[in-house]
Amino acid sequence: MAQLSETYACVPATERGRGILIAGDARSDSIAYCNGRSVIIRRLDAPLEATIYGEHAYQVTVARFSPNGEWVASADVSGTVRIWGRHGDRALKNEFRVLSGRVDDLQWSPDGLRIVACGDGKGKSFVRAFMWDSGTNVGEFDGHSRRVLSCAFKPTRPFRIVTCGEDFLVNFYEGPPFKFKLSQREHSNFVNCARFSPDGSKFITVSSDKKGILYDGKTGEKIGELSTQDGHKGSIYAVSWSPDSKQVLTVSADKTAKVWDIIEDGCGKLRRTLASPGSGGVDDMLVSCLWQNDHLVTVSLGGTMTIFSASDPNKSPVSFSGHMKSITSLVCLLQSGQNVILSSSYDGIITRWIQGIGYAGKLVRKDSTQIKCFAAAEEEIITSGFDNKVWRVPVNGDQCGDSQPVDVGSQPMGLTVAAQTPELAIVSTDSGVVLLQGPKVVSQIKLGYAVTTSAISPDGNEVIVGGQDGKLHIYSVNGDTLTEEAVLEKHRGTITAICYSPDASLFTSADANREAVVWDRISREVKLKNMLYHTARINCLAWSPDSHLIATGSLDTSVIVYEVDKPASSRITIKGAHLGGVYGLAFIDQNSLVSAGEDACVRVWKLLPQ
Amino acid sequence: MAFLRSYSNASSGMGVADDCKHIFLELQRKKTHRYVVFKIDEKRKEVIVEKIGGATESYDDFMASLPENDCRYAIYDFDFVTEENCQKSKIFFIAWSPSVSRIRAKMLYAASKDQFRRELDGVHYELQATDPSEMDLEILRERAH
């Protein structure tokens, strides 16, 4: 039996030039955001517990908790809104096709009966408000001619809806049934966000023209603006009110977040500026914010979430991050006595995680090129990207040292390091393999067949190369040449992964035809066969430290753990480990398995003995 | 007017040996066997009994007695407890036709299956397996109720 013990969730997917939305539930102190096709709900006080909802068929854009905290409404780029239960098995309550294009913002009415959704209607309606259980329309929303970026529902009666969009307009509707009341054209650029204060007396709109304007909540008339002295120097992407309706938090592309005091007559004065800790590059542009209880949460373009304390301005902020794109490989390292997990995604981000703590920093590389293959040994990581170079970088904590790349002649398809002699590494390219010793190329060997993956034994004496035809070629290493010892034919598909056991007595190979086989290294006989329980290609393999358990991860989103001494049918299956497929697997210790996949999350599983 | 012959013309003319039927009846009525494996003997042109498993043998023993590269027919007596807590026993007919076996064997066994199946009256569930994961014990448990 396997039990999920920790989830290192992904961060919200961000896009340059646009703000994103994160929602919160003050009662349970949780936040909800979206990445890809999943909605992630996390608790601010227990960041290692994250629940993920992956039922949308398209990319999710916004998710919001209902006022009573029981339901979540989430919307995606196809214009569909799904309302589902937050607890239990997340049963779907309703699904409506609301707009004909992407939904950009969604708000519940304070009584939880109505929902307003806005977005890109492709010429037809840009905004729709409907009853949450029947989907019937509760108003006509005309007045916008371009995409509507944000909408807000007045939290107190009489109900009003305000919408704002790319046509620089802020529209005010009265109802229900909602009808157009008036339109304001105070802004000179896209109006990015509109929010009512929790007491319903005012609302604020912020825009890419760097201004924030305040209006009366009941009539929609302008009452004031945020002072331009010390104002933002870049587009303001999001705004959030404090629970007492006296302050607002704004975040901007100028990489700062500002807290403003709102005085009764409607003007805003700057209270303080929060600078996010960061290197100051484009990735630090802030794209989203949320004020919940005492926490000020800001999200940057690079995916870093920073939490400031509202009451204590001098407390240093807590920041954590994760992956935004799908994780392509995962390695477990022992670094200064601690078990560190490194995960890398194709955009070149390598993140460190520590079991029990969670996020432990990103590896700051001197050269952040994209990463396709990734391997690690003591104190060193070896990466290769989409060009012909292989980098061997020394790692100290989360800082990387300098290194020179090695040119291997053609694009590397796979990369492995000999575990006991980390000097030796083998790189497989599409026509052959390259042996590396330290930072130098020892030899480049052209093999006559299409190579897909390779592995080098822990002692560096033997190399196995897998081909596209499903054959495994075993070579022994003599200095800089490879001598073919044997060819094993059992697989019925392209070989996708080969892995030696830590004690070097066994090795496993897996293919694209869902089968994995464990072989005895000395006799080259099959040790465990019929490992056929996956339903799609096997992507990765991992051995447990005592060489008794072998785990396979596949495109079919499940991870299966087999025991070498028992028949393959007695296996532990983890279904649905990662939406989209499992791409990385590693054992931390005998009972803990780490997996990473397309949903950009890393999960730690505890294996309980049966 | 009733048609006496079924419309399936796909039969390969294989006979069925007498002891196949007897051993099946023993399994069904007296419950002396756990499983029976049948093989097509091409020389004598009939289906014969290849192996009989005792009542104490397990499902793993049964799976081990099926060859990896050749097709077989098999009968397995599956004992289980239902949700209402009654002990039940159902007979499964398994057409074992692994994808690694020769085409000729697969065609022969597929064509002779209907004729042979008609002899075994009293089978509750039929299953076709092309690799060991398709005749996993979990699948039997899900089918039987």
Option in B63, B131, B137 nearest A532 (CB): B131
- Distance CA(A499)–CA(B11), nearest Å, equals 48
Option in B99, B100, B136 nearest A569 (CB): B136
For A41, A599, B29, the CA distances from A306, given in Å and listed in that order, are 16, 22, 72
pLDDT value of position A277: 67
CB contact under 8 A, B137 and A567: no
- Distance CA(A416)–CA(A498), nearest Å, equals 10
Ramachandran quadrant class, B20 (left: phi over 0; alpha: psi -120 to 50; beta: rest): alpha
CB contact under 8 A, A532 and B60: no
Residues 547..586 of A with a Cβ closer than 8 Å to B: which? Answer: 567-569
Q: From chain A, pick out residues whose CB is under 8 angstroms from the CB of B60.
A: 567, 569
Nearest CA among B86, B75, B82 for reference residue B50? B75
Check if B136 contacts A (Cβ < 8 Å): yes
Check if B69 contacts A (Cβ < 8 Å): no
Check if A532 contacts B (Cβ < 8 Å): yes
Option in B60, B63, B133 nearest A532 (CB): B133
CB contact under 8 A, A530 and B133: yes
- On whether the CB atoms of residues A469 and A447 are closer than 8 A, the answer is no
Q: Is the pTM of this model over 0.95?
A: no
For A65, A170, A270, A331, the CA distances from A297, given in Å and listed in that order, are 17, 26, 18, 30
Question: Sign of dihedral through CA atoms A233, A234, A236, A240?
Answer: negative
For residue A487, the cross-strand partners are: A473
- Distance CA(A6)–CA(A602), nearest Å, equals 8
In chain A, which residue's Cα lies nearest the Cα of B136? A569
Q: What is the per-residue burial (b if ≥16 Cβ within 10 Å, else e) of B77-93?
A: bbeeeeeeeeeeebbbb
Size of chain A in residues: 610
CB contact under 8 A, B133 and A567: no
Q: Name residues of chain A where pLDDT drops below 50.
A: none
pLDDT value of position A368: 67
- On whether the CB atoms of residues B49 and B75 are closer than 8 A, the answer is no
Nearest CA among B3, B48, B59 for reference residue B24? B48
Option in B60, B132, B137 nearest A532 (CB): B132
For A415, A460, A509, A606, the CA distances from A498, given in Å and listed in that order, are 11, 15, 4, 24
Nearest CA among A100, A12, A108 for reference residue A320? A12
Check if B132 contacts A (Cβ < 8 Å): yes
pLDDT value of position A477: 85
- Cβ-Cβ contacts under 8 Å between A and B: the total is 17
Check if B61 contacts A (Cβ < 8 Å): no
Cα of B69 to nearest chain A Cα, Å: 12
The series of mean pLDDT values per 10 residues for chain B, 145 residues long, is 50 77 87 89 84 86 88 90 86 90 90 86 89 86 83
A88: its two tokens: 């239990």
- Give the residue extent of every domain in chain A: 2-320
Cα of A493 to nearest chain B Cα, Å: 13
For A192, A323, B64, the CA distances from A17, given in Å and listed in that order, are 10, 20, 62
Scan for tokens 């994995």, then name that residue: A516
In chain A, which residue's Cα lies nearest the Cα of B134? A533
CB contact under 8 A, A533 and B137: no
pLDDT value of position A221: 87
pLDDT value of position A385: 82
pLDDT value of position A610: 66
Q: What is the per-residue burial (b if ≥16 Cβ within 10 Å, else e) of A499-510?
A: bbbbebebbbbb
Cα of B131 to nearest chain A Cα, Å: 8
Per-residue pLDDT tens over the stretch A479-514: 778 888 888 888 888 999 999 988 888 999 999 988
CATH number assigned to the domain with residue range A2-320, chosen from the 4 options 1.10.275.10, 3.40.50.970, 2.130.10.10, 3.60.70.12: 2.130.10.10
Cα of A568 to nearest chain B Cα, Å: 9
CB contact under 8 A, A569 and B137: yes
CB contact under 8 A, A530 and B132: yes
Cα of B133 to nearest chain A Cα, Å: 6
